[in-house]
Amino acid sequence: MKEAYIVTSLRTPGCRRKKGALAQTRPEDLVKTVLNALIEQTPGVEKKDVEDILLGCAFPEAEQGLNIGRVMAQMCGFPDETCGATVNRFCSSGLEAIALQAMRIKSGWCDVAIGGGIESMSIVPMGGNMPRPHPEWAKENPDVYISMGITAENVANRYSISREMQDEFAYHSQMKASNAKKNKLYKEIVPTPASKYIEKNGEWVNETFIQDFDDGIRETTTAEGLAKLRPAFAATGSVTAGNSSQTTDGAAVSLVMSEEAVKKFGVKPIAKIKYYTVAGCKADEMGVGPAYAIPKLLKMAGMKVEDINIFEVNEAFASQAIYCLQQLGMYDKRELWESTSDKRIVNVNGGAIALGHPLGCTGAKLCAQIMNEMQERGAKYGVESMCIGGGMGAAALFELCD
Ligand SMILES: CC(C)(COP(=O)(O)OP(=O)(O)OC[C@H]1O[C@@H](n2cnc3c(N)ncnc32)[C@H](O)[C@@H]1OP(=O)(O)O)[C@@H](O)C(=O)NCCC(=O)NCCS
C-alpha cells in the first residue's frame, strides 16, 4: 500500500457553546477560515490541485447541513472540479474524514485531498434540531440514544472511577491547557474572524473581532472548586461540568497527499498516517471505546503502548478517559499524564475538559494538535483516539517524517 502524508493541519480556537467567542459565527465561516489558511500555509499547492474535501460533522443539519463539504469547496473558491462530502461518525467524524482521504490516497485513487471537521454546538444543538428515535425499537433498546453524561456515570459506577479521581484528572487537564495557552504552544490555531451582537449605548451592534485562543480554559481551577460542583447528569452521580468535556464551537482541517504529490509540489510533510481503525463496545458505556480501539490499532501496526511517544485521547469525560488509561496501563504511571511532569505523553497540552469537544470537529482538531506536538517534541509515533456515541472507539497512528 502507498503512503499518505499529512502536509498541513490547522484549527480554529475551540470556544464555549453559547457563552464563547464563536457562538454567533456561522459554521461555514469557521470552515472558510481554516480552509483558506490551509492553502495559504502550503506554498506550492493551489485550490485547483485539491480533488476532494471531506468534512466530519456529528449533526450535519441547518447551517452545517446541505453537504457542508461541497458547500465549502464552492464558498471558498475552489474550482467546480473540487468535490466535497460530509462524513458522520459522531465524535470521530473529523478523524474519519482525514482517514478516508488517507485510505483513498493509499489505494492510489487520489493524490491531494482535504479532510476535516466542523461543529457549531451553539447553532446546531447536540442531538440535532429534531431527534426522532424509532419509537418501538427504542422502548426495548434505549441505549444507543441515551445521554452521553449517563454513559459517563455508567463507566464511573461499573469500574469504580471515583469523583476524586475524575476531579483530579480534570484539574490536570486544565493546568496543562493553562500552561500551553500561557506559553503560546497551540501553534496550530488560526486566528479566526468572529462576530457578536453587543449592546452599545442602548443599541445592538454587530461587532467583528479576531479570536485566537481557546476560551474554555479555566486557569483558576482548583481541587476545592471542582469538588463543590453538583452532578450534571444524575442526582447522586459524580460527573460534573468540571470533569466533563465542554460543549464547543470549532473547525479544523488537514491537507493529505500521496508521495508523488509531495514530490511534485515540493512540500515538506509533517507525518504519515500509518493506520486507522474503529472498534465497537456497549452503547451504554460508549466511553470505553479507546480501550478497545487503541490495542486493535497497535496490533495492526505490530506495536506496543510503550512504542508510542505521544497520545491524544479525547476527554469526553474524565471517567472514561481514566478507565481507558487504566486499561492501557498508563493511569498508574502518573508521570505520563500529570501536568507537573516533564515526562508526560498523554494530552500534553490539555484535553477536551479544558479545551472543549466540538463533536464532529474533534477528530480533526486533535489531529492538528498532535501534528504540532509531534513536531515540537520530535515524537516519532503518535496515537489519536476517542470514544464515540452509540458505543465505538476510533484510533489512528501517525509517524513523524524526518
Ligand atoms: C456538563 C455540561 C452539561 C455542563 O454544561 P454547562 O453548565 O453549560 O457548563 P459550563 O462549562 O458553562 O459550566 C457551568 C458552571 O460550572 C462551573 N465550572 C465549570 N468548570 C469549572 C471548573 N473547572 N472549576 C470551577 N467551576 C467550574 C462554573 O460555575 C460554570 O459556570 P460559569 O461558566 O458561569 O462560570 C456540558 O458541558 C456537557 O453536556 N458536557 C458533555 C458534552 C457531551 O456529552 N459531549 C459528547 C461526549 S461523547
390 lines ligand 1 (CB under 6 A): no
pLDDT tens per residue, range 5-52: 999 999 999 999 999 999 999 999 999 999 999 999 999 999 999 999
91 lines ligand 1 (CB under 6 A): yes
Nearest CA to ligand 1 atom 32: 19
Give ∠ CA 134-278-63 in degrees, rounded to 5.
Answer: 55
320 lines ligand 1 (CB under 6 A): no
Q: Determine what percent of the chain falls in helix, strand and coil, rounding each to the nearest 5.
A: 40, 25, 40
**361 counts as catalytic:** no
- Outline where DSSP puts E strands in 160-247: 192-200, 203-211
Give the mean pLDDT of the chain: 98
What counts of helices (H) and strands (E) characterise the chain?
12, 12
Whether this model's pTM surpasses 0.75:
yes
Distance from CA of residue 399 to its chain's centroid? 19
> Looking at residue 227, what is its pLDDT?
98
Nearest CA to ligand 1 atom 6: 241
Distance from CA of residue 330 to its chain's centroid? 21
Which are the contacts of 197, defined by CB distance < 8 A and separation ≥ 6? 24, 204, 205, 206, 207
Please give the share of the chain, as a percent, with pLDDT higher than 70.
Answer: 100
Q: Which of 91, 110, 281, 367 is catalytic?
A: 91
DSSP 102-115: HHHHHTTS-SEEEE
Q: What CA–CA distance (Å, rounded) separates 369 from 181?
A: 13
Question: Hey, which of 244, 248, 315, 387 would you mutate to test ligand 1's pocket, going by the most ligand atoms within 8 Å of its Cβ?
Answer: 244
318 lines ligand 1 (CB under 6 A): no
Beta-carbon neighbour count of residue 143 at 10 Å?
16
Give the Å distance between the CA of 218 and the centre of ligand 1.
Answer: 11
Q: Which of 76, 357, 361, 367 is catalytic?
A: 357
> Looking at residue 274, what is its pLDDT?
98
**91 counts as catalytic:** yes
Domain boundaries, the chain: 4-125+245-400
> Looking at residue 224, what is its pLDDT?
98
Beta-carbon neighbour count of residue 259 at 10 Å?
15
Give the Å distance between the CA of 246 and the centre of ligand 1.
Answer: 6
Task: Tell me the CA distances in angstroms from 130 to 60, 74, 133, 273, 339, one per residue in order.
Answer: 12, 28, 10, 36, 41
> Looking at residue 325, what is its pLDDT?
98
Q: Which CATH architecture has domain 4-125+245-400?
A: 3-Layer(aba) Sandwich (3.40)
104 lines ligand 1 (CB under 6 A): no
Low-confidence ranges of the chain (pLDDT < 70): none
Burial class (CB in 10 A: 0-12, 13-18, 19+), 43: exposed
**110 counts as catalytic:** no
Give the Å distance between the CA of 208 and the centre of ligand 1.
Answer: 26
Give the Å distance between the CA of 244 and the centre of ligand 1.
Answer: 7
> Looking at residue 268, what is its pLDDT?
98
> Looking at residue 153, what is its pLDDT?
98
> Looking at residue 180, what is its pLDDT?
98
